[in-house]
Amino acid sequence: MMDQYMLEIRDLHVHFRVYEGISRVLDGVSLDVRKGERVGLAGETGCGKTVTMKTVMGALKIPPAIIPKGEVILDGQNVLKMSAKQLLQMKGTKVSMIFQDPMNALNPVFAVGTQLFDVIRFSKRHTSNGGKLSKKEILNRAIAALDEVRLPDPKRILNSYPLELSGGMRQRVLIAMALVNEPSFLIADEPQTALDVTIGAQILDLLSELVRTKGISVLLITHNLGVIQETTERVNIMYAGQVAETAPTALLFENPKHPYSQGLLASVPRLTGGEIAEGIRGMVPDYTAVPSGCRFHPRCDHVMPICSQKKPSLLLVEPNHLVGCWLYAKEGEAE
Ligand SMILES: Nc1ncnc2c1ncn2[C@@H]1O[C@H](COP(=O)(O)OP(=O)(O)O)[C@@H](O)[C@H]1O
Ligand code: SF4
Ligand SMILES: [Mg+2]
């Protein structure tokens, strides 16, 4: 039987060696993306979203990072055990990513065309036993890719340097690069935050339309819940390196169960401005001295004695809806 999962993260722990000691950032993260599914990962700045994404892409520097425990299975293969060559191959063909800051992802020294042609050639080399595309074919593919992201006058764009383009145009170029080799999985980490609100919204609309029509699996990472609501079918709410709650998006927005999710949803209008959730008192903890038990307990209005003693596991509260909070434990489960 074909594997139904594009991505499975199981009990992932990621620590960093820092001056103060060990920073325990990810603490048992589990989440998955099924084939063709669009999944969101949301949570305040600093809660570990980018660390999760980098781990999936094999882009964590080890050291300072340590992965004491966990599995990351991408399309049936364990990423944590891949060689550098296998990783590169996977990133050039099956999986693509889009980052927050389009300038960092483009090389300012080379014309857009040079960079896009390289991406197209790389995939060809790795998918068809060294077969070569003609210059004309590469050019045609590049033009089609730029057309698809609605960049006017693709030929002019190909000859431009990144600094000659606006932020929105650069992000469109990066989306074209991410999609040109027809990946089956896309990870987008805050693709709109470096842009102004209107341009950012256009980029997200374009991205969600493209992945929907192409049937690509997506993990969309953002602190912006409005974006999650419009773009995804399922959402994971992350707090301080743990998944607090996961559910179909509509269900979670209708009926958030975890006190952290409730606080996040209550502060949606403020969140869209890129601010920390003001609806929740306090801050994301210092990962070198994390709170015991439920990491949210110092900020929680419902805290009980067990909360600081024992970490809650994810409990099924209704079909497809899991919550990591002691409020939902049945009699005896807390023992
Ligand atoms: N290379 C690193 N060394 C030490 N700490 C790191 C490193 N990378 C990330 N962190 C820490 O991990 C925590 C989570 O960061 P991040 O995943 O970027 O959060 P998010 O993307 O949710 O805003 C932060 O406290 C950050 O300082
Ligand atoms: S486990 Fe306790 S502290 Fe954590 S969110 Fe639930 S009630 Fe609050
Ligand atoms: Mg981030």
Task: Check pLDDT > 60 for residue 237.
Answer: yes
Task: State whether residue 28 is helix, strand or coil.
Answer: strand
Tokens 């607090």: give the residue.
244
**pLDDT over threshold 90, residue 298:** yes
Q: Could you tell me if the CB of 23 is within 6 A of ligand 1? A: yes
pLDDT by residue (tens digit) across 250-267? 999 999 999 999 998 887
CA dist 40 → 33, 108, 231, 234, 334 (Å): 9, 31, 8, 6, 29
Report pLDDT for 271.
45
- Is the predicted pLDDT of residue 2 greater than 70, yes or no? no
CA distances 95 to 71, 88, 119, 121, 126, Å, are 18, 10, 13, 16, 13
CATH code for the part of the protein at 1-88+186-204+217-313: 3.40.50.300
Q: Examine domains 1-88+186-204+217-313 and 95-182 and report if their fold is the same.
A: yes
pLDDT in tens, 170-198: 989 999 999 998 899 999 998 877 778 88
Domain boundaries, the chain: 1-88+186-204+217-313, 95-182
Q: Categorize the per-residue pLDDT at 332 as very low, low, confident or very high, splitting at 50, 70 and 90.
A: low
- For the whole prediction, is pTM greater than 0.95? no
Query: If 0-12 CB within 10 Å is exposed, 13-18 middle and 19+ buried, where does residue 27 land?
Result: buried
Nearest CA to ligand 1 atom 5: 16
48/57 Cα distance (integer angstroms) = 14
DSSP state of 255: S
Percent of the chain whose pLDDT exceeds 70: 91
Pick the CATH number of 95-182 from 1.20.910.10, 3.30.300.30, 3.40.50.300, 3.40.50.1580: 3.40.50.300
Spatial contact of 217 and 35, defined as CB atoms under 8 Å apart = yes
Please, which pLDDT band fits residue 334 given cuts at 50, 70 and 90? Answer: low
334 ligand 2 Cβ < 6 A: no
CA of 227 to the centre of ligand 3 (A): 15
Which tens digit of pLDDT belongs to each residue from 121-175?
Answer: 877 665 555 567 788 889 999 999 999 999 999 999 999 999 999 888 998 999 9
**25 C-alpha to ligand 1 centroid (Å):** 7
